[in-house]
Copies of this chain bind each other. A is one copy, B any other.
Amino acid sequence: MHQLKLYQYSYHPVPFDQQLSDLKAIDFLPGRFDTMKINKVFAVFINKLFPEQHSTSALLETMDRLLVNEHTTLKALYETEHFTLLTTDFYNLALQLLGFEIDVDFKLAQGGEFLSNLGLPLLKTPELLTTKAQLVTAFYYLLCLRTKNGQNYLDVLANRGFFNQFFKSRTPQFVLFNGRLQATFDANTTIREIVYVQSDLDTDEDGQYDLLETTIFRPKATAYNLKVPALYTANPYFKGTNDMTAALHDVNINLAVKPATEPTITSALPPVLQIDQPVTLKTPAVKSETETAEITSTEDNIYSLNDYFLARGLATVYAGGIGTRHSDGIRTSGSPAETLSTTAIIEWLHGDRLAFTNKTDHIAIKAWWCNGNVAMTGKSYLGTMATAAATTGVPGLKAIISESAISSWYDYYRDHGLVVAPEDCQGEDCDVLAIDTFSRLKDAADYQRIKPVFDKTLLALTKGQDRNSGNYNDFWAIRNYRTNVKNIKCAVLLVHGLNDWNVKLRNPEKLWRTLREADIPAKMFLHQGQHVYMNNIRSIDFNDMVNLWLTDKLLGFPNHSDTILPKVLIQDNAQPETWHHYQDWCADSDPKRQYYLVGNELTTQPKNSSIQTYVDDGAATFLKGDRDEHAWTRAIMADHSTYATNRLQYKSQPLDHELYIDGNPILTVQIASSTDHGLLSAMLVDYGQAKRLLANPSIIERTGLKLGYNWQSEDLKEFQLTPKTSAYKLITKGHINLQNRASLRFNQTVTPDHFYTVHFELQPTHYHLLKNHQIGLILYSTDMGMTLRSSEVIHYQIDLADCRLEIPYRR
């Protein structure tokens, strides 16, 4: 039987008084609690757990199906004159209520043991629950536990109607339990409206401030005077995307030879900057003001975490930003203007900026329903916008949950002086992304008018990004949010997948280091996924943690979320459903292992060693074949490989005990190219037969995660092991242009057959290497899935004597 694990970091024990007031807040505690006998209190509590049953008979029938022990049904216990409740009986009952089955999941006598193996926190109880206080604590604890599908039991009760009496309140309030917001709002009556926020930009050069379409989903409770915080997701994809296939750059070209440049040369700011600045225009007069929007939104929700909070009383807000459909402006992929168009929405929510009901009439509308506190959510480009906004220090922004996000666009499309694509995105770049997200193109008449400005902007983007050099320049510098980290005033939660080769790990890592250096508190959650959300993973209480955290940040409720929640949470790659709670990631103080390259080995002691060679001519084979980038990636790591001559392979001795790699492996290589340019790529590999976690979580139950009563749902997922073992897995990799061995901005020459020292960081990671596995290193050049695929045949020599691999690990 598979031993389920259910981590629960959001739960925290509270004093008895708090238990009582929490239970009172959710209307669980009977009014005459003080004078009632224990069996009556038990009866009232049990009643609350079956919100579907509206008659005594129906309730008793339900209780008659549950066993508290081998000889007693819940009904018998409920009806007995001689009420006694053993702790083990309570565990049996609790587990059934949580969805576990007797003799399938647990044995009647072993409820407590089973519960503790789940990973859930355990109640300290006496053998017999004899007092009302003990009963209160036991039921409080039960309401906090997670069910078999990973959802909080009180949330499950809410999904079954527990809170429906709160839906119709004409004096709505937020309801908290164990420090978290409860689902006391009817999400199906959500008010859905659209307004146009006026920015300080005129990126489409029409002499008018860019108006930004903003979509608001707010609880009906706001119509009854409840002021609510807003969860805001800046989403350039919100109004659709365009087919960018035709715009993709050709990557089957040779690497350019770059002229040597002096560190003293400062390149001029590329022209794209000129349309990126706030402008001062004549402000149109506000004709009138209203509290009523005049456009209804029928857009979809886009992130189930947001929908979860809609049922808990937060508003959710979406905006595509400049250049997206129905908004003004032009897309400029990561530019400061884009950031300003993102923060404009927050300024409106905070009461600091104008918005209009339409683009014509100058009728102003305020976010009068908002309490002025905003948190941002979203993954990838969406999370990137959250990071961008945070680095402006915009008032009103209290927290960001930035998932799989870019922290510097150079680290998205480039690596050490090379064009390096995100996985499965060969040929994409800032200009292509601008086409992708310029959804104004979908409205033919609108596009007809804006096309000249868009075409001009696109040219500037193409020029600024400078694929020819691959160097860091001012175009990239203004797209590096990390330079503004000091401005951050909000709480920061970064979430990233350790197998994300779209937004590579350098993005969260460098941001994390910058935050640490600036002494800005932040949290980091790292899961084993690729480029995916983690809020529907059964083994971890992500939604509950975010709930606890946002209840603190957006409603100011002192629930100690910062200390209760892990600072760094990392999912183990070798053990399913296993999460580690750490104090840091990529800590500078981590110890390091030094490896040397000898023969085909990674050794811990240097030895006399020689020169080895490989040839970089695999592109021809690759392009003649089926061009499967993933198959190539597997092949270049395999012991017996079609591409064996295109690489050098080194392996350590089998590890005599397990090892947790943590941080950036650093590689030093003495390398010579047969021509006047070249590149070096390196992969760190885990060699050893093992079942490994699939890089995307599997659906355990379709729509298994309910987000509220009669409301949206999400598929319940978990990271599962592959059914078969495999011989190796990529740990991390990295790339460098030999001309950029000293700098990202400036080029050095490469003399053919001359040896140079190349010293660079691979992408950071956290990786659990099992005992008896071997650490592998692959040195190669062209990376079919990421770099340019040159048709040149270049021979590389490696002088092993001066090569080193440094692996940081967690003690």
Contact = CB atoms under 8 A, between A and B. Distances in A.
Contact of A52 (B104, B295, B626, B710): B295
Given A57-B361, A445-B66, A298 B52 contact: yes
Nearest to A53: B295
Contacts of A357: 55, 58
Given A61-B359, A300-B703, A295 B67 contact: no
Contact of A73 (B194, B445, B710): B445
Nearest to A74: B445
Which 5 pairs, one residue from A and one from B, show the smallest C-beta to C-beta distance?
A65-B443, A57-B360, A55-B294, A102-B444, A67-B444
A58 B298 contact: no
A792 interface: no
A160 interface: yes
A54 B295 contact: yes
Given A61-B359, A361-B57, A444-B96, A297 B101 contact: no
A446 interface: yes
Nearest to A189: B188
B358 A57 contact: yes
Interface string A35-69: 00000000000000001111101101100111100
A55 to B, nearest CB: 4
A244 to B, nearest CB: 12
Given A358-B61, A360-B60, A159 B298 contact: yes
Contacts of A443: 65-66
B294 A58 contact: yes
A266 interface: no
Interface of A: 51-55, 57-58, 60-61, 64-67, 73-74, 96, 101-104, 159-161, 188, 192, 194, 242-243, 294-298, 300, 326, 357-361, 441-446, 448, 626, 703, 709-710, 713, 724
A724 B295 CA distance: 47
Nearest to A63: B445
Contact of A296 (B52, B66, B101, B703): B52
A72 to B, nearest CB: 9
A54 B294 contact: yes
Contacts of A446: 64-65
A713 B714 CA distance: 12
Contacts of A242: 104
A442 B294 CA distance: 51
A441 B710 CA distance: 27
Given A65-B445, A626-B724, 15 more contacts: A52-B295, A52-B298, A54-B296, A55-B295, A55-B358, A55-B361, A57-B359, A64-B445, A65-B443, A65-B444, A67-B445, A73-B445, A101-B442, A101-B444, A159-B298
Contacts of A54: 294-296
Given A55-B357, A102-B444, A360-B60, A296 B626 contact: no
A318 to B, nearest CB: 15
Contacts of A297: 52
Nearest to A65: B443
B53 A294 contact: yes
Given A54-B294, A295-B54, A444 B161 contact: no
A294 B297 CA distance: 37
Contacts of A192: 710
A442 B104 CA distance: 9
Nearest to A51: B296
B360 A61 contact: yes
21 contacts: A52-B297, A53-B294, A53-B295, A54-B296, A55-B294, A55-B361, A57-B359, A57-B360, A57-B361, A58-B295, A58-B357, A66-B443, A67-B445, A67-B448, A74-B445, A96-B444, A102-B444, A103-B444, A161-B296, A298-B709, A298-B710
A37 to B, nearest CB: 25
A96 to B, nearest CB: 7
A14 to B, nearest CB: 29
A281 to B, nearest CB: 20
Contacts of A60: 360
B52 A188 contact: no
Contacts of A713: 300
Nearest to A96: B444
A243 B361 CA distance: 63
Contacts of A160: 298
A705 to B, nearest CB: 12
Contact of A104 (B61, B243, B359): B243
A208 to B, nearest CB: 14
Contacts of A65: 326, 443-446
Contacts of A709: 298
Contacts of A298: 52, 159-161, 709-710
Contacts of A710: 188, 192, 298
Contacts of A359: 57, 61
A55 B53 CA distance: 46
Contacts of A360: 57, 60-61
A168 B611 CA distance: 83
A73 B446 CA distance: 9
A194 B357 CA distance: 45
Nearest to A192: B710
A60 B358 CA distance: 10
A700 to B, nearest CB: 14
A474 to B, nearest CB: 34
A611 to B, nearest CB: 41
A361 B51 CA distance: 20
Nearest to A361: B57
